[in-house]
Amino acid sequence: MPVTDKRVRELQVGGALPDELLRATEPYIVRGLAAGWPLVRAGLQAPEAADAYLRRFYGDATVTAMLGKPEIGGRFFYNDAVDGFNFLSVRARLDGVLDELQVQRGMARPGAIYVGSTTIDTALPGLRAENDIDLDGRDALASIWIGNRTRIPAHYDLPDNLAVVAAGHRRFTLFPPEQLANLYIGPIDFTPAGQAISMVDLAAPDLDRFPRFAEAQRHALVAELGPGDAIFIPAMWWHNVEALDDFNVLVNYWWRQSPGWMDTPTNALMLAILTMRELPPAQRRAWQEIFRHYIFEPDEDSLAHIPANARYALSPLDDDKARILRGQLLKRINR
Amino acid sequence: MATHALLNNVDHKHLRVITARGARYGDAVMSALTFPAEFRELQAYYPIVFARSADGSAFDALALFGFQDGENLFLDEAGGTARWDAAAIPLSVERQPFLIGRGAEELSIHIDMDHPRVTAASADDGEALFLTYGGTSEYLERIASVLRTLHDGLDAAKAFSAALVELELLESFVLDIELDDGSQNRLGGFYTIHEERLLALSAEQLERLNRAGYLQAIYMAVASLSQFRGLIDRKNRAHARHR
């Protein structure tokens, strides 16, 4: 059951997605955006048809597959002690995983199988020739996600995201970035799949353990998608993703609005932990103001007193200035 | 005139360095500087001898590759692709085309821009020095470590050769070589360990050498002289090929 009745807004789009929608800061659904894909049409016939269609593009690539016992109910998570995970990650041939998904489709209590974020052009070269979305020339990373009934806890991704259900059904539960404190996020550097996740089980939220989740729930938006439907998830929005059928395929596109030389701000967070978190409160507050001044509320006027030629790192970066900064940082932190 | 530049990730962002061996990359040299910490590895391939340093004030340890200037008998250029026929190469060769620069405190990496190993941005052979966004490539990390080891090693070598001089353990030698074709060749101007004096050292002197870590290096240098046989064989084979 969804944690809220509030739905992600649906937009009618004729043809390609316009640029302003690809730079949106709120999520939206476009029904039937990929209705014309041969993969979507195959999936509407039967899981076996989508499976057979995918195999036409398969060479011999290996992929990372997450395997969970039936008891986990498809929720890929930590183990009880949070010193490991409740699933196994294995490298396997994709056709072998498709075989196993077929086997599990006949089971009363199937094990959970998930091939997550797999680069399409590597694993299934040629698939995108007839199954692709035009992103107004953006250089996006196109990935495929294949599995049975699975639940991926709420997490954010750094790039903007357009996700297309190619086969099966999916439910996305979204929370705005500022719900961080109400989502009870787990470890940031020990994660099941790279991103920190909410410890709250959205299928059965335990409000005794996680009382602030009730507040997050008030800001939640739900999107239920079928074959060919697409959802735009803005960068940094929390999303919990449930795959609802016994065979589900998702295709997604990730792209950044920032230049290539910009690093993930996660590095800055780690560096801030290393350099600031343990400071005395008064010093930390001073640094908070410094960051507000230079980073979070940058203001051209605040630099007016420095001649343009003398602003160095305070002037807009380009790839060479970024190289200099990176070179300095590499030297400084290597101690 | 070589152009030495302080390496940086902006001016040199696209630079690549060819790591293949060959005369055209500057490998046709008769000898290379070495230092005690690499004697053990090098003595399995090269004679290790000593020569007066350029200013004449001290002695440098050298690994010998040939008998005359520009002759490297380990370079095998047959068949188009050159190779260096030994499993160990002195770090002073490995470091090319990089140099150590001495700033205020820290060592910095310089590069000889005119060195034939330095190649253009568009070349797809060779190793990149920097990653796409200015980070340090694994190759450059390795070079940095080579330069550090070399710098420390050559520093240690000074004290080592000073100890040899103090104990009068170096003697000059001349090697007269008759090649298979009857030609006479002479190798002179080098020094080696004076074995009789080495054997005559007192227990206290030997202990001092041993404690300083020099005794093993001395015996490695002595043992390395058996590589002259192999070097002469290489010379004979090279002569036979060229006749």
Q: What is the pLDDT, as a whole number, of residue B121?
A: 62
What stretches in chain A show pLDDT beneath 70?
none
Q: What is the pLDDT, as a whole number, of residue B123?
A: 61
Q: For chain A, where are the alpha helices, taking DSSP H only?
A: 19-22, 38-45, 47-55, 94-105, 120-123, 213-218, 265-275, 281-291, 319-333
Over pLDDT 70: what percentage of chain B? 95
Distance from CA of A318 to the nearest CA of B (A): 11
Rounded distance, CA A227 to CA A20, Å?
Answer: 25
Distance from CA of B135 to the nearest CA of A (A): 7
pTM of the model: 0.81
Neighbours of A306 (CB within 10 A): 12
Strand B98-102 with B48-52, pairing: unpaired
pLDDT band at B240 (very low <50, low <70, confident <90, very high): confident
Q: Is the pLDDT of residue B1 over 60?
A: no
Measured between CA atoms, the residue of chain B closest to residue A320 is B10
Report the pLDDT averaged over residues B124-146: 91
Q: What is the pLDDT, as a whole number, of residue B119?
A: 85
* A-chain residues near B8 (CB < 8 A): 324, 327
pLDDT band at B243 (very low <50, low <70, confident <90, very high): low
Range with lowest mean pLDDT among A218-222, A284-288, B22-26, B177-181: B177-181
Q: What is the pLDDT, as a whole number, of residue B239?
A: 82
Of B13, B133, B135, the CB nearest to A260: B133
**CB contact (8 A) between residue B9 and residue A319:** no
pLDDT band at B104 (very low <50, low <70, confident <90, very high): low
Q: What is the pLDDT, as a whole number, of residue B122?
A: 60
pLDDT band at B2 (very low <50, low <70, confident <90, very high): confident
Q: What are the residues whose beta carbons fall under 8 Å from the beta carbon of B164, sequence distance 6 or more?
A: B50, B59, B170, B193, B214, B218
ipTM tops the 0.85 cut: no
A vs B, Cβ pairs < 8 A, gives: 30
Measured between CA atoms, the residue of chain B closest to residue A329 is B135
**B27 in Cβ contact with B93 (< 8 Å):** yes
Q: What is the pLDDT, as a whole number, of residue B107?
A: 75
Of A260, A324, A330, the CB nearest to B135: A330
**A128 in Cβ contact with A93 (< 8 Å):** no
Q: What is the pLDDT, as a whole number, of residue A334?
A: 84
Q: Which residue has the tokens 């750094």?
A: A158
Of B8, B133, B136, the CB nearest to A322: B133
Interface residues from chain B to A (CB-CB < 8 Å): 8-10, 13, 130, 132-136
**CB contact (8 A) between residue A319 and residue B133:** yes
* A-chain residues near B13 (CB < 8 A): 320, 323
Distance from CA of B138 to the nearest CA of A (A): 14
Q: What is the pLDDT, as a whole number, of residue A331?
A: 86
| pLDDT tens per residue, range B68-103 | 999 999 998 877 778 999 999 999 999 999 998 876
